[in-house]
Protein backbone atom coordinates (compact mmCIF):
# COMPACT_ATOMS: atom_id res chain seq x y z
CA UNK A 1 0.00 0.00 0.00
CA UNK A 2 1.28 3.45 -0.93
CA UNK A 3 0.40 6.51 1.11
CA UNK A 4 1.56 9.66 2.84
CA UNK A 5 3.73 9.07 5.91
CA UNK A 6 3.30 11.38 8.90
CA UNK A 7 7.02 11.89 9.41
CA UNK A 8 6.49 14.43 12.20
CA UNK A 9 5.52 11.47 14.41
CA UNK A 10 8.62 10.05 16.14
CA UNK A 11 7.61 6.43 15.54
CA UNK A 12 7.14 7.04 11.82
CA UNK A 13 10.40 9.02 11.63
CA UNK A 14 12.22 6.09 13.23
CA UNK A 15 10.65 3.69 10.72
CA UNK A 16 11.74 5.93 7.85
CA UNK A 17 15.25 6.07 9.26
CA UNK A 18 15.35 2.26 9.66
CA UNK A 19 14.74 1.98 5.90
CA UNK A 20 16.87 4.94 4.84
CA UNK A 21 20.13 4.08 6.60
CA UNK A 22 20.70 0.60 5.13
CA UNK A 23 19.57 1.79 1.68
CA UNK A 24 21.96 4.74 1.64
CA UNK A 25 24.80 2.53 2.91
CA UNK A 26 24.34 0.54 -0.30
CA UNK A 27 24.49 3.74 -2.36
CA UNK A 28 27.60 4.84 -0.46
CA UNK A 29 29.27 1.57 -1.44
CA UNK A 30 28.17 1.98 -5.07
CA UNK A 31 29.57 5.48 -5.40
CA UNK A 32 32.54 5.09 -3.03
CA UNK A 33 31.49 8.00 -0.82
CA UNK A 34 30.30 7.68 2.78
CA UNK A 35 29.46 11.31 3.59
CA UNK A 36 26.00 11.17 2.03
CA UNK A 37 23.79 13.59 4.03
CA UNK A 38 20.93 11.06 4.57
CA UNK A 39 23.40 8.86 6.45
CA UNK A 40 23.66 11.65 9.04
CA UNK A 41 19.90 11.94 9.57
CA UNK A 42 18.32 11.33 12.95
CA UNK A 43 14.70 10.88 13.98
CA UNK A 44 14.71 14.59 14.87
CA UNK A 45 15.96 15.71 11.44
CA UNK A 46 13.42 13.46 9.74
CA UNK A 47 10.63 14.90 11.91
CA UNK A 48 11.72 18.47 11.13
CA UNK A 49 11.95 17.93 7.36
CA UNK A 50 9.73 20.03 5.11
CA UNK A 51 9.57 17.22 2.56
CA UNK A 52 6.46 15.18 1.80
CA UNK A 53 7.09 11.49 2.50
CA UNK A 54 5.24 8.73 0.65
CA UNK A 55 5.69 5.20 1.94
CA UNK A 56 5.28 1.77 0.44
CA UNK A 57 4.10 -0.71 3.05
CA UNK A 58 3.84 -4.47 2.81
CA UNK A 59 1.62 -6.00 5.49
CA UNK A 60 2.16 -2.85 7.55
CA UNK A 61 5.96 -2.90 7.32
CA UNK A 62 7.64 0.07 5.64
CA UNK A 63 9.56 -1.38 2.68
CA UNK A 64 10.47 1.90 0.96
CA UNK A 65 9.62 5.54 0.56
CA UNK A 66 10.06 8.55 -1.64
CA UNK A 67 10.15 12.15 -0.48
CA UNK A 68 9.80 15.35 -2.42
CA UNK A 69 9.50 19.10 -2.12
CA UNK A 70 6.92 21.03 -4.11
CA UNK A 71 8.63 24.13 -5.49
CA UNK A 72 5.52 25.52 -7.19
CA UNK A 73 6.44 24.92 -10.82
CA UNK A 74 8.52 21.83 -10.06
CA UNK A 75 8.71 18.78 -7.83
CA UNK A 76 12.16 17.97 -6.47
CA UNK A 77 12.51 14.32 -5.48
CA UNK A 78 14.76 14.39 -2.44
CA UNK A 79 14.92 10.73 -1.40
CA UNK A 80 14.11 7.47 -3.16
CA UNK A 81 14.69 4.68 -0.66
CA UNK A 82 14.00 0.95 -0.62
CA UNK A 83 15.20 -1.28 2.20
CA UNK A 84 17.71 -3.82 0.82
CA UNK A 85 15.46 -6.68 1.98
CA UNK A 86 12.91 -5.47 -0.59
CA UNK A 87 15.14 -4.73 -3.59
CA UNK A 88 14.00 -5.85 -7.05
CA UNK A 89 10.28 -5.95 -6.28
CA UNK A 90 9.20 -2.88 -8.24
CA UNK A 91 8.82 -0.72 -5.13
CA UNK A 92 11.00 2.16 -6.37
CA UNK A 93 9.18 2.12 -9.72
CA UNK A 94 5.80 2.23 -7.96
CA UNK A 95 6.86 5.13 -5.75
CA UNK A 96 8.25 7.21 -8.62
CA UNK A 97 5.11 6.50 -10.63
CA UNK A 98 2.97 7.60 -7.66
CA UNK A 99 4.72 10.98 -7.53
CA UNK A 100 4.68 11.47 -11.31
CA UNK A 101 0.97 10.69 -11.53
CA UNK A 102 0.11 12.72 -8.42
CA UNK A 103 2.02 15.77 -7.22
CA UNK A 104 4.24 15.85 -10.30
CA UNK A 105 1.56 15.27 -12.93
CA UNK A 106 1.69 18.71 -14.55
CA UNK A 107 5.02 19.92 -13.16
CA UNK A 108 8.64 19.62 -14.04
CA UNK A 109 10.23 16.90 -11.89
CA UNK A 110 13.88 16.96 -10.79
CA UNK A 111 15.98 14.28 -9.13
CA UNK A 112 19.64 13.58 -8.45
CA UNK A 113 21.64 10.51 -7.52
CA UNK A 114 25.25 9.49 -7.22
CA UNK A 115 26.74 9.30 -10.72
CA UNK A 116 27.90 5.77 -9.88
CA UNK A 117 24.45 4.57 -8.82
CA UNK A 118 23.63 2.71 -12.02
CA UNK A 119 20.37 1.11 -10.77
CA UNK A 120 18.91 4.51 -9.80
CA UNK A 121 20.05 6.07 -13.07
CA UNK A 122 18.44 3.26 -15.05
CA UNK A 123 15.20 3.70 -13.09
CA UNK A 124 14.97 7.45 -13.76
CA UNK A 125 15.86 7.06 -17.43
CA UNK A 126 13.16 4.39 -17.81
CA UNK A 127 10.62 7.07 -16.87
CA UNK A 128 12.01 9.44 -19.49
CA UNK A 129 14.10 11.64 -17.21
CA UNK A 130 16.76 13.43 -19.25
CA UNK A 131 20.30 14.09 -18.15
CA UNK A 132 20.57 17.60 -16.71
CA UNK A 133 24.27 17.60 -15.92
CA UNK A 134 26.51 16.60 -13.06
CA UNK A 135 27.94 18.38 -10.07
CA UNK A 136 31.00 17.49 -8.06
CA UNK A 137 30.16 17.20 -4.36
CA UNK A 138 33.59 16.01 -3.22
CA UNK A 139 36.85 15.13 -4.97
CA UNK A 140 36.03 12.42 -7.53
CA UNK A 141 32.40 12.19 -6.34
CA UNK A 142 29.68 13.44 -8.65
CA UNK A 143 25.92 13.73 -8.53
CA UNK A 144 24.00 13.03 -11.72
CA UNK A 145 21.08 15.42 -12.24
CA UNK A 146 17.92 14.46 -14.11
CA UNK A 147 14.80 16.32 -15.17
CA UNK A 148 11.42 15.42 -16.60
CA UNK A 149 9.52 18.21 -18.37
CA UNK A 150 6.14 19.40 -17.11
CA UNK A 151 4.43 18.57 -20.39
CA UNK A 152 4.56 14.84 -21.05
CA UNK A 153 2.33 12.20 -22.53
108-152 confidence digits (pLDDT tens): 999 999 998 999 999 999 999 999 999 998 888 899 999 998 775
User: pTM for this one?
Assistant: 0.93
Residue 64 lies in a domain: yes
Res 149: pLDDT: 87
CATH number at residue 29: 3.40.630.30
Residue 153 lies in a domain: no
Give the whole-angstrom CA distance, residue 5 versus residue 144.
27
Judge whether 56 and 63 are in contact, CB under 8 Å: yes
Residue 50 lies in a domain: yes
Residues 22-48 have a mean pLDDT of 93
Give the whole-angstrom CA distance, residue 87 versus residue 103.
25
| Range(s) of the domain holding residue 34 | 2-148
Q: Are strands 108-114 and 74-82 parallel, antiparallel or unpaired?
A: parallel
Total domains in the chain come to 1
User: What separation in angstroms does the CA of 26 have from each of 8, 14, 31?
Assistant: 26, 19, 9
Amino acid sequence: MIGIEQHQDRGVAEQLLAVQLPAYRIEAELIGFWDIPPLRDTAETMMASGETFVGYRIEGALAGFISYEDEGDAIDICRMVVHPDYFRRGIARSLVDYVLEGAGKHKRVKVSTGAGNKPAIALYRSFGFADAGEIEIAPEVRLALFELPSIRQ
